Structure 1
Amino acid sequence: MPGIIAVHCGAGFHSQKFHHNYKNVCKTACKAGVDVLKNGGSAVDAVKAAVIVLEDDPLTNAGFGSNLTTDAEVECDASIMDGKTLTFGGCGAVKKVKNPISLAHMICVKQSEPLPLGLVPPTLLVGSGGLKYARSNGLKVVNSKKLISEKARRQFEKYKQLLEVKQCELLDTVGAVCIDDSGHVASACSSGGLILKVPGRVGQAALYGSGIWADSLDKSGASSVAVSTTGCGEHLIQTQLAREIANDVKNGSFPPSDLNRTMTEKFMKSDHLRDVKQKMGGALVLHANNKMEVSLLWGHSTETMILAFMKTSSDKPKVCSSDLWNRFFLTSENY
């Protein structure tokens, strides 16, 4: 079967003025992931490559160009999950690491490497510990100022003066889901967090079960699923939305209905968010049943969500600017 990768630039509000730019970076990210798959790389390698493209573009809120904390610094979160092994790697509130997804990938991969004296390798590293780990393993580390884009600086100055953060306009968390030609899945996400966030704050992009989920451990006897969520991190953490979606889609009978039900019952109507007036969340989902029939789904409660997807057998990606028309939006593509 052909491999498939899909990426998103977040669920939130994307100004119509920049839709073309968002679509272009999504297409470039898809191509990077597909190139990895065509060269024999795994789904994990492919989502890493795709997210690096998204992190390097100042338009997104991940890596270079991330939202600034109240101390005017960039602190990033990222994670990767390998559905083949169920291994997860995450990093949170990390400074100076050029591509946080590379750190999350390294943490994920190194969990399969035995340590002396029976020591247990980390699943999640934050702050200075994450930076030290990145340096010791040869990842690219830069001066903090090199991660601040002009756009991020302008936003910081504007909202610092207003003292009122419009979070719904600044949720360009990025992510990717992938299924490789062997039928295994992986997912990834990366985020600079909310603008004017408290230093040290860690969002869903770093946390197990909240930002991503991937499971293809038993692809011959059960369905496989990969999920990457986006939106307000606190909302996604309190509902553990990625894992809830994965479990319901994996064990359900009709993926579009299963995703719709989870987003409605376990997010929009969640008791954990009962006092939240504007619930901001979205998800990008790949599902493959044991006959290797694949569906790509996405849904969001925010005004917009921009994404792209591509098969290894295709010449170019397909791109979508998904808009909300006063209701929860859900759609799917079948392969």
Structure 2
Amino acid sequence: MPLKVVVVDDSAFFRRRIVEILNADIGIEVVGTAGDGREAIEVVKRLKPDVVTMDIEMPVMDGITAVRRIMAESPRPILMFSTLTTDGATATLDALDAGAMDFLPKRFSEMAKDEDSAKMLLRRRVRALARGRGGAPAAARAPARAETRHLPASPASAAPAQSPTPAPPPRSSGIRSESLRSLRALLIGTSTGGPVALQEVLKALPSQFPLPIVVVQHMPASFTPAFAERLNNLCQIEVREAANGDALKPGVALLAPGGMQLVLEGGSQPRVRIVDSPPGTIYKPSVDITFTSAVAALRSQVLAVVLTGMGADGREGARALKEQGARIWAQDAASSVVFGMPAAVIEAGLADQVLALRDVGPALVKSLC
């Protein structure tokens, strides 16, 4: 049965274009459209689609208000279309705070290298969101009782599981107590669903958090300054966009700039370098590139956390870190918007702990503070 989608945009031309792209996939059917936020609320309530695509700037009712109402009355995954400007970044982050799960640039030339790739990306995003847990916020999707899974140690070279649905790992209630006080850095990688997940994790950390933090979030270059500023205003720790040569400092989180790569350099005072992407690199920034650079810079003295996201970025970097004896944590399926990135790490046998999102921050405080 095809996935049902509702397309919301005040431009009739853009609506037709998105409808044509999505309907070209036999696994997707656009069942309705709307030209403003108020109409969208009624159409979504009536048609109950699996995914909604939503513009931000519309007459009668804007997209952010519509997202907030839909998530309150008929929650389901919402994909925003955004302009890659400073104002667009702020509005998109507001939409994510309101409950939207993902976003894409409205201009196809900013979405991918060519139009065919952009069309494929849009369809993949819609399918990935539909495969998620539904439209409820992460906190609501998490089990009523916090559940932490602990995985037995396994060789770093273990091959990824062949089955797409691996057997669930052993479960135990609560957060496992372990001392991580010998570490030199906390690394976090995430993608789809990451902005909201990062807010929840980083807001839990005290201002005197003892480790430097490096965050890699798949995000356009025009978005990362606004996102870093937003996190800084919400958190007790300092959060800012990383600049070339920044030193790693306890209680400071450096966010990898969009469109570039963040690599770590070792020494008595580890620092970051901001560099161009190697040819053919898909993710800019890439979790794998940052994690792998930490192998030479920090060896085993790292905790790497892989949160919600589509794809498998972070798996090979986590594998390289694991070979050095680093600790790896992953977010669980129930609290992930898209379980791709953490699932890739778990299925490869690399995760030392698998935690619900709401447990990650408290676990960090318990283990490090």
The normalised TM-score by structure 1 is 0.29
The normalised TM-score by structure 2 is 0.27
Relative contact order: is structure 1 or structure 2 higher (C-alpha 8 Å, sep ≥ 6)?
Answer: 1
